[in-house]
């Protein structure tokens, strides 16, 4: 299966959120080790990327939309790419349609990137990310840099975003060279085997 694009959760994947759980100030946004380089690799490889994040701090009244936008502009500046960011501002009791584990924002991101869900992988740290990916019909890569250990078994799991991105890029390269081999290299006429 080819991965044409990547969706990323934010907190616990890109940045290490404060103990409170909420980034309410640009100064609270701290990149996890290796995460920024991993993002820059994705950007350099020109892979379509979008970020999908629950930001209930907005609904709780401890974060304004304008500060959230400021944090996201900073993130985009750091990466050097204007990746679209989809966020749910609601709290759980709002029972909105967009908060993960609902797949709504993942579908919206896929539509924005113009890619079928089956070509996307969602990278997240939380079981609600896994549920959202499953509901959206997307592959899920778990990273162990977050604070959730209640995942369903048989999940593809990586130590951090850098490891997940390395695997993704390798997979794409492999898929690319398989296509090249199939198109360019004739099979051995005696054995029918391909080199
Ligand atoms: Mg998270
Ligand atoms: Zn929502």
CATH number at residue 35: 3.40.50.1000
Q: Which ligand is nearest to the CA of 53?
A: 1
Quote the ligand 1 centre to 9 CA distance (angstroms).
Answer: 6
Look at residue 159 and tell me if it is in a domain.
Answer: yes
Nearest CA-CA partner of 13 in 28, 32, 39, 34: 32
pLDDT score for 89 = 98
Quote the ligand 2 centre to 79 CA distance (angstroms).
Answer: 26
pLDDT score for 135 = 97
β 5-8/139-143 pair status: unpaired
pLDDT score for 128 = 95
Look at residue 195 and tell me if it is in a domain.
Answer: no
> Which DSSP string do the residues of 149-188 spell out, in sequence order?
----SS-EEESSHHHHHHHHHHHHHHHHHHHHHHHH-PPP
pLDDT score for 153 = 67
Look at residue 15 and tell me if it is in a domain.
Answer: yes
Domain count, the chain: 1
Distance CA 147, CA 69 (A): 24
Quote the ligand 1 centre to 33 CA distance (angstroms).
Answer: 15
Quote the ligand 2 centre to 55 CA distance (angstroms).
Answer: 9
Look at residue 128 and tell me if it is in a domain.
Answer: yes
Domain that holds residue 59: 5-179
Look at residue 190 and tell me if it is in a domain.
Answer: no
Nearest CA-CA partner of 52 in 130, 109, 92: 109
Average pLDDT of each block of 10 consecutive residues along the chain (195 residues)?
91 93 95 98 97 98 98 98 98 97 98 97 96 97 86 83 96 84 62 49
Look at residue 115 and tell me if it is in a domain.
Answer: yes
């Amino acid at each position: 299966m080819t991965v044409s694009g990547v969706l990323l959760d934010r907190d616990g994947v890109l940045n290490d959120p404060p103990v409170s759980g909420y980034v309410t100030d640009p100064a609270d946004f701290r990149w996890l080790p290796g995460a920024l380089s991993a993002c820059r690799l994705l950007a350099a490889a020109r892979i379509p990327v979008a970020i999908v994040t629950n930001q209930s701090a907005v609904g709780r009244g401890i974060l304004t939309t304008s500060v959230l936008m400021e944090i996201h502009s900073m993130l985009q500046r750091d990466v050097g790419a204007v990746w679209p960011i989809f966020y749910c501002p609601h709290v759980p009791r709002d029972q909105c349609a967009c908060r993960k584990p609902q797949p709504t924002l993942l579908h919206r991101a896929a539509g924005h990137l113009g890619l079928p869900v089956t070509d996307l992988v969602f990278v997240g740290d939380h079981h609600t990310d896994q549920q959202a990916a499953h509901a959206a019909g997307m592959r899920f890569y778990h990273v162990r840099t977050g604070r959730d250990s209640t995942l369903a078994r048989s999940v593809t799991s990586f130590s951090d975003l850098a490891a997940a991105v390395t695997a993704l890029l390798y997979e794409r390269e492999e898929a690319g060279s398989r296509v090249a081999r199939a198109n360019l290299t004739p099979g051995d006429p005696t054995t029918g085997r391909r080199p």
